[in-house]
A and B are shown apart, each in its own frame.
Chain A
Amino acid sequence: MRRRHLLRSATAAAIAAPVLGPSRGRAQALEKVSIGVLKLASSGPLFIAMARGHFRAQGLEVEPKYFTAAAQVPVAVTSGDADFGVTGLTAGFYNLAGRGALKMIAGQSREEPGFQLNAYMATAKAWEEGLRDLKAYAGKRIAITTTGSTFHYSLGLLARKYGFDMASVTMVGLQQLPAMAAAFKGNQVEGIVIPVTLARQLEAEAGGRILGWVGDETPWQLGALFTSPKAIDQRRATVEKFTRAWAMGCADYHAAFNARDAQGRPAKGPGYDELLDVLAKAVEQPAARVADGLPFVDPQARLDVGDIHSQVAFWSAEKQLRGEVDAKAIVDTSFVAGHFNIPRG
């Protein structure tokens, strides 16, 4: 009885869907585009823009292609498997962009003061032995994912800020977050750079100490929206439409999640609960956990262009780039108005 009832309602839904779903009615008019993306809260503007129909309003039908590591997304755009990509900026990204395969067109998340996204930590043992501030990272073993990762760059910024030599830090590349956490728990390293959810876990389970947050200590342009130069040449109107919808997603995201009260504490902005639900579904995590790690996103999807130039200079100095990478040539500032901090000359 019950099963038949379920079956009938499912059939009813299947019949009703094409009528109710606004996308189906105009399916032929919509242009298909794909985007390579990670299931992370930092991709929130995309999920929100899809849920709120911003892409559809621009005549686009977006197919997200999910990846599990930031390094894979630029490769997918280079190979033509995805039209766009949005993810954290790594040395691998700059190597591909430097060879003319990619162009940044808009901002994604930024490490900003007051936003606790990634933590610099010390193990309980290292804390006992005197690793109590970030200056003391000099000469220590710090767990990261890989050379060239966002964690590597954060460490580089830290070294510059506190004036220690990057070469004195032993970066222990462990490829995956679980392996990093294991090395931290087993006191195989003294410190770690790690996302907030795991940082909280290491604090509770292994007595690790959070020495500071990347956003507070060393803010930087963490991620960007990018596409191929070929797409910009041949499908400029599509790229414009896509960026417009993306920026609307950024505005919605910023309004809901980046609001602060008079004391500077996180506050719920308009649409908070609804959009948190959208994010939780998209990243397949409980809403409470997603709420713990909501990064800052520029409301107009602007890039800190000066910071992109600093990133290229850093990777070049660290000898992680092959050949000359021209920071100017890998950013196309024509799609979003008001990119800031643009170097002169």
Chain B
Amino acid sequence: MTPERPVPFRGGGFAPRRRRFVALAAFAVLLGAWELAGRGGWISPIFLPRPGTILGALGDLVRSGALAEHLGASLFRIAAGWTLGSALGFAAGLAIGLFSLARSAGIPIVSALFPIPKIALLPLMILWLGIGEASKVATIALGVFFPTVIAVYAAVDAVPRNLIRMAQSFGVPPAAILRKVVLPGAWPAILSGFRITASIALILVVSAEMIGAQRGIGQFVLQAGNLMIPEDLLAGIVVLSALGLGIGALIGTIERATTRWR
């Protein structure tokens, strides 16, 4: 007989939780160190302006009213481009997820067109759609469209087939299966697709505003880069990340509201 040995408890850990004040403290330490390094002259203001300088540039933007103008112009382009790209992408993705014909034609087309860099198309976009809002909205819509297609059809594919079969065996008509089984089943995955495409829309606003924009956060960032004014450039980046946080929170709210049934 082997002697009895006490077994120590080996569980626990591997369950990271979020503590809000830690995140804030981490930011504070990071920014504080950065600020001190800048003030101490360890980091040249040409290479990386300190947070205080960036905040000052941001303050100038707010006070002059330029920020509101830039934000207004960019938010319109982001909203219009994202909505257009998502609506078309949703329809195409659903078709690919449901019908053999659409699937056979759609997947190769998406694979062929998705990797085209949108910036390389700028001269053509200008010829096709001009330098007004249409080409800017289209640039964002095009960037949002393809990832949405992929997210939607993958989400539809992931709906458990046995649920669909069960509904069929109960004699539920196809339209109702789509509405009551497929879409609710695919919705959470589609929402995470939206999370990604919303960020893509933010990234693309800079490319879109390369097309002769007079106003816009992307145009402001581009101009600051051309003029080599790093504090303005970083102030623009801060605004873009704040927008990203805002949109992320918005989608989070929608997520909680529409997936409560789970």
Could you tell me the distance in whole angstroms from the C-beta of A228 to the nearest C-beta in chain B?
11
Could you tell me the distance in whole angstroms from the C-beta of A227 to the nearest C-beta in chain B?
16
Q: B210: which A residues are within 8 A, CB to CB? A: 174-175, 179
Query: Which residues from 212 to 229 on chain B have a C-beta closer than 8 Å to any C-beta of chain A?
Result: 212-214, 219, 222-223, 225-229
Asked whether A71 lies within 8 Å of B226 as measured between CB atoms, the reply is yes
Asked whether B227 lies within 8 Å of A174 as measured between CB atoms, the reply is no
List the A residue with the shortest CB-CB distance to B212. A172
Q: Which of A149, A174, A176, A178 has the most CB of B within 10 A?
A: A174
Number of interface residues of A (CB under 8 A): 35
Asked whether A92 and B130 contact (CB < 8 A) given A99-B45, A148-B223, A179-B211, the answer is: no
Asked whether B47 lies within 8 Å of A188 as measured between CB atoms, the reply is no
Could you tell me the distance in whole angstroms from the C-beta of A342 to the nearest C-beta in chain B?
26
Q: B229: which A residues are within 8 A, CB to CB? A: 95, 322
Q: Which of B124, B126, B211 has the most CB of A within 10 A?
A: B126
List the B residue with the shortest CB-CB distance to A78. B46
B122 interface hit (Cβ, 8 Å): yes
A37 interface hit (Cβ, 8 Å): no
Q: Mark B192-232, 1 if CB is under 8 A from A, else 0.
A: 00000000000000000011111000010011011111011
Q: B126: which A residues are within 8 A, CB to CB? A: 174, 179, 182-183, 186, 188
Q: A74: which B residues are within 8 A, CB to CB? A: 228
List the B residue with the shortest CB-CB distance to A71. B226
A79 interface hit (Cβ, 8 Å): yes
Contact of B131 among A78, A79, A172, A176 (CB under 8 A): A172
B123 interface hit (Cβ, 8 Å): yes
Q: A149: which B residues are within 8 A, CB to CB? A: 226
Number of interface residues of B (CB under 8 A): 25
Contact of A188 among B130, B213, B227 (CB under 8 A): B130
Could you tell me the distance in whole angstroms from the C-beta of B138 to the nearest C-beta in chain A?
14
Asked whether A186 lies within 8 Å of B127 as measured between CB atoms, the reply is yes
Asked whether B46 lies within 8 Å of A99 as measured between CB atoms, the reply is yes
Asked whether A182 and B127 contact (CB < 8 A) given A79-B47, A175-B222, the answer is: yes
Asked whether A182 lies within 8 Å of B124 as measured between CB atoms, the reply is yes
A67 and B124 CA atoms in complex are apart in Å by 25
Q: Mark A140-160, 1 if CB is under 8 A from B, else 0.
A: 000100111100000000000
A174 and B208 CA atoms in complex are apart in Å by 10
Contact of A176 among B46, B122, B127, B227 (CB under 8 A): B122
Query: Which residues from 170 to 190 on chain A have a C-beta closer than 8 Å to any C-beta of chain B?
Result: 170, 172-176, 178-179, 181-183, 185-186, 188-189
Asked whether A95 lies within 8 Å of B212 as measured between CB atoms, the reply is no
Q: Mark B22-59, 1 if CB is under 8 A from A, else 0.
A: 00000000000000000000000111000000000000
Asked whether B212 lies within 8 Å of A183 as measured between CB atoms, the reply is yes
- 8 other contacts beyond A188-B131, A322-B231, with CB at 8 A cut-off? A71-B226, A79-B47, A95-B229, A146-B223, A147-B223, A181-B123, A183-B126, A188-B130
Using CB atoms and an 8 Å cutoff, list the residues of chain A in contact with chain B. Answer: 71, 74-75, 78-79, 90-93, 95-96, 99, 101, 143, 146-149, 170, 172-176, 178-179, 181-183, 185-186, 188-189, 320, 322
Closest 4 CB pairs of A and B: A172-B212, A92-B228, A182-B123, A182-B126
Q: Could you list 8 A-B pairs, sorted by A, with CB under 8 Å?
A: A71-B225, A96-B228, A99-B45, A143-B212, A174-B212, A182-B124, A185-B127, A186-B127
